[in-house]
């Protein structure tokens, strides 16, 4: 015989309550990771793309993907490491696609449609150096480029960078050394 | 240490993030004006590079980043959590039922009709002629004497992958067999003898006498001239 249990209004079943509590905890954890890691994702994307609008879009896309996989990424270190790698990959994909598009357009463009020469301000020494630096960065191998960017972001030590990339600290140091040497050669 | 080696050391030291040179290099830089100039240039270059990297890597995060992300999230489902225990149990139960039913279906004898690719061969039913039906005391037939609970016995069905070869049995042979079967209940001794296994035979050694040939003449098949 089936037993009937009366549930007073406003009271939820035990299973539902557990599930709701779990979802609430997941929501809180997500907000925490978002506040902590969203700027990092943006900066990684910006370091590759050099365009704030594109970087914002890429960072949002990476965070959305992280959100969809959040049940597997709840551990803080794992989340940050995963997010950095996925952001970098997405940013690189977009950067390469943009470069291909630019090259295609440049090849087809008529001489009169070429962009105007840079203004006097753009030719200022600091900007010129910054432009050269960014171009030099783009020419670096991906693994060097990522280490340079992450180690330049304020607030992250080499140990944290090694955690994000899941490589030993020694590897981070050696990659940073070769990257800086290559950058200096290109800028000299 | 010559100038080229010192310059390499200077670059490596600055690339490694070192603030100062080693004593040997410092001595050389202090004594060599060209290397000192190189060192100053390299230090300025690395300082500019570090400053540029700081600018490149620490750009201002746009305030629209998080609101934009939340707006995109609102369009989709909430964060995925692991399956709740109820669903997990239900999935496990469904999987178990599926596996069990599969095993039962595999091991049960086939109760369905014959499939087109598997021929079912049923031996032909033997109809007893009225004359050979054994007489019973109450006039009941063998079928009617069965207990009501007893299910009618099915004739064995042989399932074979290929149809059996047809055997032609003569009409008189069939009749003889039917008579034999009908007579079996009367001839209990014969029936028992047929039902029981044959007693084991004792092998008796047989002695074969040796063949003795007294005289043997070998003659050619065709007659010779001498004959």
Helix A142-152 with A158-165: angle, nearest 10 deg: 140
C-alpha distances in angstroms, B144 versus A154, B123, B152?
101, 23, 11
The residue-averaged pLDDT of B27-43 equals: 89
- pLDDT at position A165 over 80: yes
Comparing CA positions, the residue from B73, B121, B53, B100 lying closest to residue A180 is: B53
Same domain? A152 vs A180: yes
Instruction: Name the percent of chain A lying above pLDDT 90.
Output: 28
CATH of the domain at A55: 1.10.1740
In angstroms, the CA B218 to CA B45 distance is 126
Mutate to test the interface with B, among A14, A32, A56 (most CBs of B within 10 A): A56
Locate the chain A residue with the closest alpha carbon to B65.
A56
At residue B133, the pLDDT reads 43
Last residue of a domain, one of A110, A142, A166: A110
Q: Establish, for the pair of chains A and B, how many residue pairs have beta carbons separated by less than 8 Å.
A: 124
At residue B190, the pLDDT reads 77
At residue B69, the pLDDT reads 87
Same domain? A100 vs A154: no
Contact A186/A134 with Cβ under 8 angstroms?
no
- Reported ipTM: the value is 0.71
Same domain? A106 vs A128: no
Mutate to test the interface with B, among A27, A29, A35, A42 (most CBs of B within 10 A): A42
* Residue A1, domain member (yes or no): no
Q: Which residues of B touch A95 (CB under 8 A)?
A: none
pTM above 0.90, yes or no: no
Residue-wise pLDDT tens digits, A48-81? 888 889 999 999 999 999 888 888 877 777 888 8
The residue-averaged pLDDT of B191-210 equals: 78
Contact A146/A171 with Cβ under 8 angstroms?
no
Last residue of a domain, one of A110, A132, A166: A110
Same domain? A54 vs A92: yes
Comparing CA positions, the residue from A60, A137, A99, A143 lying closest to residue B54 is: A137
For chain B, the structural domain boundaries read 3-57
Residue A47 at interface with chain B, using a CB cutoff of 8 Å: yes
Residues 110-129 of B with CB under 8 A from A: none
Contact B184/B190 with Cβ under 8 angstroms?
yes
Q: Which residues of B touch A180 (CB under 8 A)?
A: 14-17, 46, 49
The residue-averaged pLDDT of B113-139 equals: 46
Neighbours of A49 (CB within 10 A): 21
Q: Which residues of A touch B69 (CB under 8 A)?
A: 34, 38, 60, 63-64
Locate the chain B residue with the closest alpha carbon to A174.
B16
Same domain? A21 vs A102: yes
Residue A159 at interface with chain B, using a CB cutoff of 8 Å: no
Q: Report residue A12's pLDDT band, with 50, 70 and 90 as the boundaries.
A: low
Same domain? A23 vs A106: yes
- pLDDT at position A171 over 90: yes
Same domain? A127 vs A106: no
Residue B54 at interface with chain A, using a CB cutoff of 8 Å: yes
- Shortest Cα distance from B63 to chain A (angstroms)? 10
Side-chain half-sphere CA neighbours of B211 within 13 A: 2
Last residue of a domain, one of A110, A130, A147: A110
* Residue A39, domain member (yes or no): yes
Same domain? A73 vs A148: no
At residue A108, the pLDDT reads 64
The residue-averaged pLDDT of B140-151 equals: 48
Same domain? A20 vs A75: yes
Q: Report residue A25's pLDDT band, with 50, 70 and 90 as the boundaries.
A: confident
At residue B110, the pLDDT reads 57
- By Cβ distance, the residue of B45, B65, B79 closest to A70 is B79
Same domain? A127 vs A103: no
Q: Which residues of A touch B68 (CB under 8 A)?
A: 56, 60
Q: Which residues of A touch B17 (CB under 8 A)?
A: 176, 180
**How many distinct structural domains can be found in chain A?**
2
In angstroms, the CA B178 to CA A18 distance is 78
Same domain? A102 vs A141: no
Residue B68 at interface with chain A, using a CB cutoff of 8 Å: yes
CATH of the domain at A126: 1.10.10.10
Q: Which residues of B touch A133 (CB under 8 A)?
A: 49, 52-53, 56
Residues 133-152 of A with CB under 8 A from B: 133-134, 137, 148-150, 152
Q: Which residues of B touch A36 (CB under 8 A)?
A: none
Q: What is the residue range of A54's domain? A: 14-110
């Amino acid at each position: 015989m089936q037993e009937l249990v009366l549930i007073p209004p406003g009271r939820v079943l035990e299973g539902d309550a557990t599930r709701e509590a779990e979802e609430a905890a997941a929501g809180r954890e997500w907000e925490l990771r978002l506040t902590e890691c969203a700027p990092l994702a943006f900066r990684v994307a910006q370091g590759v793309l050099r365009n704030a609008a594109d970087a914002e879009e890429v960072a949002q896309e990476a965070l959305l993907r992280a959100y969809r996989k959040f049940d597997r990424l709840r551990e803080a270190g794992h989340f940050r490491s995963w997010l950095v790698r996925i952001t970098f990959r997405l940013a690189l994909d977009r950067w390469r696609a943009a470069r291909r598009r630019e090259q295609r357009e440049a090849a087809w463009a008529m001489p009169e449609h070429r962009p105007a020469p840079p203004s006097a301000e753009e030719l200022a020494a600091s900007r010129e150096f910054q432009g050269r630096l960014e171009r030099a960065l783009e020419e670096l191998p991906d693994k060097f480029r990522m280490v340079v960017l992450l180690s330049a972001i304020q607030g992250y030590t080499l140990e944290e960078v090694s955690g994000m990339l899941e490589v030993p600290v020694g590897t981070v140091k050696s990659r940073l050394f070769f990257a800086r040497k290559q950058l200096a050669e290109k800028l000299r | 240490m010559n100038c080229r080696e010192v310059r390499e050391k200077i670059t490596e030291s600055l690339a490694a993030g070192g603030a100062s040179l080693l004593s040997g290099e410092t001595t050389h830089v202090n004594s060599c004006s060209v290397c000192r100039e190189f060192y100053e240039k390299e230090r300025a270059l690395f300082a500019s590079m570090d400053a540029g990297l700081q600018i490149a890597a620490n750009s201002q995060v746009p305030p629209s980043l998080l609101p934009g992300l939340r707006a995109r999230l609102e369009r989709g489902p909430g964060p995925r959590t692991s399956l709740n225990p109820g669903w997990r149990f239900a999935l496990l139960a469904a999987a178990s039922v599926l596996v069990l039913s599969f095993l039962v279906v595999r091991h049960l004898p086939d109760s369905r009709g014959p499939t087109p690719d598997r021929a079912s061969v049923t031996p032909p039913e033997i109809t007893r002629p009225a004359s050979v039906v054994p007489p019973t005391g109450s006039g009941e037939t063998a079928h009617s004497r069965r207990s009501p609970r007893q299910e009618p016995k099915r004739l064995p069905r042989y399932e074979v992958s290929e149809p059996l070869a047809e055997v032609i049995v003569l009409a008189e042979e069939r009749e003889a067999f039917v008579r034999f079967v009908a007579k079996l209940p009367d001839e209990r001794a014969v029936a028992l003898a047929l039902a029981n296994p044959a007693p084991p035979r004792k092998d008796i050694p047989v002695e074969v006498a040796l063949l003795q040939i007294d005289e043997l003449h070998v003659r050619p098949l065709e007659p010779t001239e001498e004959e």
